Amino acid sequence: MNPDLEKLIELQRVEREIARLTAEVAALPKRMAAIEAQLADTKSQVERTKSAISANLTDRRKQEQKIQDEQQKISRYRDQSLGVKTNEQYKALLQEIQFAESEIRACEDRILEGMVGNEELEKKLKAAEAELKAEAAEIEKEKVEARAVTAKDEAELAAWTGQQDRLRAAIAPAHLAYYDRVAGVRKNALAEARDHKCSACQVMLRPQTYNEVRTNSEIMACDSCQRILYYDTSKPEEETTSTRRIGKRGHRVEKAWYYLADSGYGSVFVAYVNHLGSCSRRYFDADDGRFLHIDRRQEADFGDVFQDEIHHGLQVYVEQQPNLEETCHDQLPADVLAELRRQVQATEEPIQTPGQ
């Protein structure tokens, strides 16, 4: 593998870890602030409940005092009723006594309501105080854990940062500058090439580019997203998009697409197909995608039958394979034709190496 490419892959891994640890360290104070806010809310609830209980007790004493005052009034009115000389005076005192008695009943009802309310408030206060105690213990535990996690993260961050500095110092300045430019825009500056595509933007790679990327010998970029491409040789070789498993019985269909600049039909795109022990070859005009001709062979493999033609052709790729019998009966779909033509045109363009 190209030394700088290997270091860039490692650098991206290191910087991802640095970003993760940095975010984790930054998130801890926010987490503690959220817990403290929750604790403060529980404390406020306790205080509000205590205030409500105190207000009820104050109102109860007020009502009890009012009852005493009304009872004294009743006692005076009864004493006065003994000395009255007319029925009108007696009736007036009797009305005052009845009014005072109704005031006493209202005060007693209010006292009773307050007692019932205080019972509920006492239960609420007990639950809130228990919750406050549990939360206070939990927050102290989380603070201890947070301090330990922060210390661990900061130590790891220092180690990763040191490794980052060493890697950056060992990479060619041009390649490092390109890496930083792409990372500043795309977040990740490198992307794995897999199944003939850039795994980041999912755009198909030119056949020549893909083959060269698989060697990992040069610093090469995706034409679409500009990320630096690499091929992970530790993964098993993928099944290419030219090979598909279809059919209810699971029969394997192998399909390959080639471009022939000079054939008996002019410049064409050719679809070679193996299916159920037989093979076929379909020609499509390279300019407008018109179906031109089909050859069928029994009990043969297109790699053997059309070996010479394939050897001189340019292999191209189709991501979403069309159904040759249905959608390509008269002409290639416009999107398929455009993609095939793009790949042919791309092989004629020079490949720019990042940093050049």
User: Would you say residue 55 lies in a domain?
Assistant: yes
| pLDDT at 44 (0 to 100) | 87
- Report how far apart, in Å, the C-alpha atoms of 146 and of each of 16, 33, 97, 150, 182 are: 22, 12, 70, 6, 35
296 closest CA partner among 268, 325, 262, 319: 325
Mean pLDDT, the chain, integer: 85
Confidence of residue 306 (pLDDT cuts 50, 70, 90): confident
Q: Are residues 55 and 147 in the same domain?
A: yes
d(C-alpha 291, C-alpha 283), whole Å: 6
User: What does the DSSP 8-state code read for residue 264?
Assistant: B
User: Would you say residue 145 lies in a domain?
Assistant: yes
Confidence of residue 240 (pLDDT cuts 50, 70, 90): very low
What tokens appear for 350 in the block?
A: 């020079």
220 pLDDT higher than 80: yes
Confidence of residue 353 (pLDDT cuts 50, 70, 90): very low
User: Would you say residue 93 lies in a domain?
Assistant: yes
**What is the pLDDT averaged over residues 226-241?**
76
Q: Whose structure tokens read 């070996």?
A: 307
List 278's β-bridge partners, or say none: 275
Q: Are residues 44 and 13 in the same domain?
A: yes
Q: Are residues 99 and 248 in the same domain?
A: no
User: Would you say residue 237 lies in a domain?
Assistant: no
User: Would you say residue 238 lies in a domain?
Assistant: no
Percent of the chain residues topping a pLDDT of 70: 92
Residue 188, amino acid: N
Q: Are residues 129 and 7 in the same domain?
A: yes
Q: Are residues 190 and 299 in the same domain?
A: no
d(C-alpha 198, C-alpha 289), whole Å: 27
Q: Are residues 8 and 132 in the same domain?
A: yes
Residue 177, amino acid: A
Range of the domain at 274: 243-346
Confidence of residue 354 (pLDDT cuts 50, 70, 90): low
Q: Give the model confidence (pLDDT) of 142-155 as tens digits.
A: 888 888 888 899 99
| pLDDT at 347 (0 to 100) | 65
User: Would you say residue 352 lies in a domain?
Assistant: no
| pLDDT at 348 (0 to 100) | 58
**What is the pLDDT averaged over residues 27-51?**
84
**What is the pLDDT averaged over residues 6-29?**
91
End residue of a domain, out of 169, 195, 220: 169
| pLDDT at 172 (0 to 100) | 95
Instruction: Tell me the H-state helices in the chain.
Output: 3-81, 87-170, 173-186, 207-213, 302-305, 307-312, 334-346
CB neighbour class for 142 (10 Å; exposed up to 12, middle 13-18, buried from 19): middle
| pLDDT at 162 (0 to 100) | 95
Instruction: Tell me the H-state helices in 82-172.
Output: 87-170
**What is the pLDDT averaged over residues 34-42?**
82
The answer to whether 242 touches 257, Cβ cutoff 8 Å, is yes
| pLDDT at 345 (0 to 100) | 81
Tell me which of 62-76, 122-136, 220-234 is least confident: 122-136
Residue 243 burial (CB count, 10 A):
14
**What is the pLDDT averaged over residues 197-225?**
87
| pLDDT at 42 (0 to 100) | 83
Q: Are residues 195 and 282 in the same domain?
A: no
Judged by DSSP in three states, 340 sits in helix
Phi-psi region of 196 (alpha: psi -120 to 50; beta: other; left: phi over 0): left
Q: Whose structure tokens read 């009014």?
A: 99
Confidence of residue 264 (pLDDT cuts 50, 70, 90): confident
d(C-alpha 24, C-alpha 146), whole Å: 10
pTM confidence score: 0.50
Q: Are residues 71 and 105 in the same domain?
A: yes
* Higher pLDDT pick, 172 / 33: 172
255 pLDDT higher than 60: yes
End residue of a domain, out of 151, 169, 187: 169
253 pLDDT higher than 60: no
d(C-alpha 142, C-alpha 283), whole Å: 70
Q: Are residues 141 and 208 in the same domain?
A: no
| pLDDT at 237 (0 to 100) | 59
End residue of a domain, out of 121, 143, 169: 169
User: Would you say residue 356 lies in a domain?
Assistant: no
What tokens appear for 354 in the block?
A: 């990042």
318 closest CA partner among 257, 269, 252, 239: 257
Q: Are residues 208 and 165 in the same domain?
A: no
Percent of the chain residues topping a pLDDT of 90: 37
User: Would you say residue 75 lies in a domain?
Assistant: yes
The CATH number linked to 129 is 1.10.287.1490
**What is the pLDDT averaged over residues 216-232?**
92
| pLDDT at 195 (0 to 100) | 82
Judged by DSSP in three states, 206 sits in coil
243 closest CA partner among 215, 221, 212, 274: 274
Q: Are residues 153 and 276 in the same domain?
A: no
The number of domains in the chain is 3
- Residue partners of 254: CB distance under 8 A and separation at least 6: 242, 243, 273, 274, 275, 302
Q: Are residues 45 and 162 in the same domain?
A: yes
d(C-alpha 43, C-alpha 125), whole Å: 11
**What is the pLDDT averaged over residues 12-41?**
86
| pLDDT at 241 (0 to 100) | 42
